[in-house]
C-alpha cells in the first residue's frame, strides 16, 4: 500500500470513529440516578456463565492466544448452524459491517442502504469516497426490496444494506420480501443483513438470512452478543457469509478480538435456545407493557420487533432529549428522517416507570 493510500485509510478511520462516538454520546450533565435507555442495551447484562468466563480469562490476557480462535470459530459456527469456514468474528457486529463495506464497495460500486437506519455503514462509505444511495423504507417501515434491487442494477453492483429488525424503527422485512431480494440480486451485488436484534423477534413472518448463506448466495449476515446477551461492553460478534466472501473481508479486520470477548462468546453458546427464549420473553413482556401504556395515552409508535420502541412525539426530538435527561432518563438520539420520533430502549420495569414519568412531564 502506498503512503497516500495508508493516509487515506487513516482519515477514514478517524472520521468514522468520530461519527460513531457522536452517535452514541449523551451531551450535557446527567443526574447521578440516570437510567440509560439510549443505546438499546440489555439491563440484565452478561449471563453468569459469561461473567465467570471473563473473570477466568483475565489470567490469559498476557498472551495473544491465537490458538483459542479456531475453537471460537467452531462455537460461533455451531450457534449459527453453518460450517466454521463461513464465520468471521469481530468486535461486535460493527467490525464485520465495516469489513463488508471496505471489501465490497468501491468508487464505482455504491453502498445502497435503507433509510432511515443506523448510519454507520453510510458514514463509513461516504468517508471513503464511495457513493451512497439511500432508499426510503416502505409505508409499512420495511425494506423496499424492489427499489433496492433496482438501485443495484443501475449501479451495476455494490452492497445492499438493511437491518432486520431495523434500527431505529424496530420494524422488520418479512420472509417473502427478503427471499425476493435474494433471488433478484443483480450481478456483483452483496446483500448485507444486520441481525443485531433478530433474537427479540416473535413474528413467524421473519426469517434469518443465514439460510441464504448456507445456500451459497451473495449474502453476509451479522450478529452480535451486545444486545440479547447483554455484552455490549465486551465487544464480540460475528458474521456469516460464503467462504469466498469471508476471504475477501478477512484482510480488513482490525485484529483478533479480545480473549475476554472470545471466552465470553464461547460460554454463551452452550446456553442454547432456552436461554434466548427466556430473555426474549422478559424483554418483550416489558416492551408490550410500554406499548399498552402508549396506546392508552394515544401516542403513535411503530409496532416493535426489537428491544426498543420508536414513538412519534409531535415535535423535534432534539428538543425533548435534553429535557428527558434533566429528568434522569437518557433516550435515543435524533435520526434523520424521523426527527419527530423518540427511540427508547426497553429497560427494567422500574426504569420504564421512570421513563413514563419523565415522558409525561416532557412530552405530555
- Give backbone dihedrals phi and psi of 11, rounded to 5 degrees, phi first: -65, -40
Distance CA 120, CA 103 (A): 15
Q: Which helix (H) or strand (E) holds 133?
A: strand 132-136
First to last CA, the chain: 57
Residue 5 in contact with residue 129, Cβ under 8 Å?
no
Tens-digit pLDDT profile for residues 195-220 = 999 999 999 999 999 999 999 999 99
CATH architecture of 48-270: 3-Layer(aba) Sandwich (3.40)
The mean pLDDT of the chain is 93
- The percent of residues above 90 in pLDDT, for the chain, comes to 90
Q: C-alpha grid cell for residue 143?
A: 425494506
Pairing of strands 158-163, 111-115: parallel
> How far is it, in rounded angstroms, from Cα 39 to Cα 26?
10
Residue 4: which pLDDT band, with cuts at 50, 70 and 90? Answer: very low
pLDDT band for position 21 (cuts 50, 70, 90): very low
- Please state, in angstroms and as integers, the Cα–Cα distance from residue 48 to each residue in 54, 75, 275, following that order: 10, 18, 12
| Residue 254, number of CB atoms within 10 A of its CB | 11
Residue 229 per-residue DSSP state: T
The alpha helices in the chain, defined as continuous H runs, are: 3-24, 48-57, 69-80, 94-104, 120-127, 145-155, 175-183, 210-214, 243-249, 259-268, 272-297, 317-326, 349-362
- Look at residue 10 in the predicted model and tell me its pLDDT: 38
| N residues, the chain | 364
Selection from 200, 197, 236 nearest residue 39 by Cα: 197
The 10s digit of each residue's pLDDT in 74-124 is 999 999 999 999 999 999 999 999 999 999 999 999 999 999 999 999 999
Q: Where in the chain is the domain with CATH 3.40.640.10?
A: 48-270
Pseudo-torsion of CA 4, 119, 77, 54, nearest 10°? 90
For the stretch 289-311, what's the b/e string if a residue is b when 16 or more beta carbons lie within 10 angstroms of its beta carbon? Answer: ebbeebeeeebebbebbbbbbbb
Residue ranges, comma separated, of all CATH 3.90.1150.10 domains in the chain are 27-45+273-362
| pLDDT tens digits for range 285-307 | 999 999 999 999 999 999 999 99
**Eight-state DSSP code of residue 258:** P
Mean pLDDT of 40-65: 96
For residue 25, what pLDDT is reported?
54
175: pLDDT strictly greater than 60: yes
DSSP structure string for 7-67:
HHHHHHHHHHHHHHHHHH---S---TT-EEESS---TT-S-HHHHHHHHHHGGGTTS--GG
Give the integer Cα–Cα distance in Å for 237 and 89: 6
Q: Which CATH number applies to 27-45+273-362? A: 3.90.1150.10
pLDDT at residue 3, rounded to an integer: 29
- 308 contacts 118 by C-beta, under 8 angstroms: no
Taking the C-alpha atoms of residue 19 and residue 35, their distance in angstroms, rounded to an integer, is 24
Q: How high is the pLDDT of residue 254?
A: 86
Amino acid at each position: 500500500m502506498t503512503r497516500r493510500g495508508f493516509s487515506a485509510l487513516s482519515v477514514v478511520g478517524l472520521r468514522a470513529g468520530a461519527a460513531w462516538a457522536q452517535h452514541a454520546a449523551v451531551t450535557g450533565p446527567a443526574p447521578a440516578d440516570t437510567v440509560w435507555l439510549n443505546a438499546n442495551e440489555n439491563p440484565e447484562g452478561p449471563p453468569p456463565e459469561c461473567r465467570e468466563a471473563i473473570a477466568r480469562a483475565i489470567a490469559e490476557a498476557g498472551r495473544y492466544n491465537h490458538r483459542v480462535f479456531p475453537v471460537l470459530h467452531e462455537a460461533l459456527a455451531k450457534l449459527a448452524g453453518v460450517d466454521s469456514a463461513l464465520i468471521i468474528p469481530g468486535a461486535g457486529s460493527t467490525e464485520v459491517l465495516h469489513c463488508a463495506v471496505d471489501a465490497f464497495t468501491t468508487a464505482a460500486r455504491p453502498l445502497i442502504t435503507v433509510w432511515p437506519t443506523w448510519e454507520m455503514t453510510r458514514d463509513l462509505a461516504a468517508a471513503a469516497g464511495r457513493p451512497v444511495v439511500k432508499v426510503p423504507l416502505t409505508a409499512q417501515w420495511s425494506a423496499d426490496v424492489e427499489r433496492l434491487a433496482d438501485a443495484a442494477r443501475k449501479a451495476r453492483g455494490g452492497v445492499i444494506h438493511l437491518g432486520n429488525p431495523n434500527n431505529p424503527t424496530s420494524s422488520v422485512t418479512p420472509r417473502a420480501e427478503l427471499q425476493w431480494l435474494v433471488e433478484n440480486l443483480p450481478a456483483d451485488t452483496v446483500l448485507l443483513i444486520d441481525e443485531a436484534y433478530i433474537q427479540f423477534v416473535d413474528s413467524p413472518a421473519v426469517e434469518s438470512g443465514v439460510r441464504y448463506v448456507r445456500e451459497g448466495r451473495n449474502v453476509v449476515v451479522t450478529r452480535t452478543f451486545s444486545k440479547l446477551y447483554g455484552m455490549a461492553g465486551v465487544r464480540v460478534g460475528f458474521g456469516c457469509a460464503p467462504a469466498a466472501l469471508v476471504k475477501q473481508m478477512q484482510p480488513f479486520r482490525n485484529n483478533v478480538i479480545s480473549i475476554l470477548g472470545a471466552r465470553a462468546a464461547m460460554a454463551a453458546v452452550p446456553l442454547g435456545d432456552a436461554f434466548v427464549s427466556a430473555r426474549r420473553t422478559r424483554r418483550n413482556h416489558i416492551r408490550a407493557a410500554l406499548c399498552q401504556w402508549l396506546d392508552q395515552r394515544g401516542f403513535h409508535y411503530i409496532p416493535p420487533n426489537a428491544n426498543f420502541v420508536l414513538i412519534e412525539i409531535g415535535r423535534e426530538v432534539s428538543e425533548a432529549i435534553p429535557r428527558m435527561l434533566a429528568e434522569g432518563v437518557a433516550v435515543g438520539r435524533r435520526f434523520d428522517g424521523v426527527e419527530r420520533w423518540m427511540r427508547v430502549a426497553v429497560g427494567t420495569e422500574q426504569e420504564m416507570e421512570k421513563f413514563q414519568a419523565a415522558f409525561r412531564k416532557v412530552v405530555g
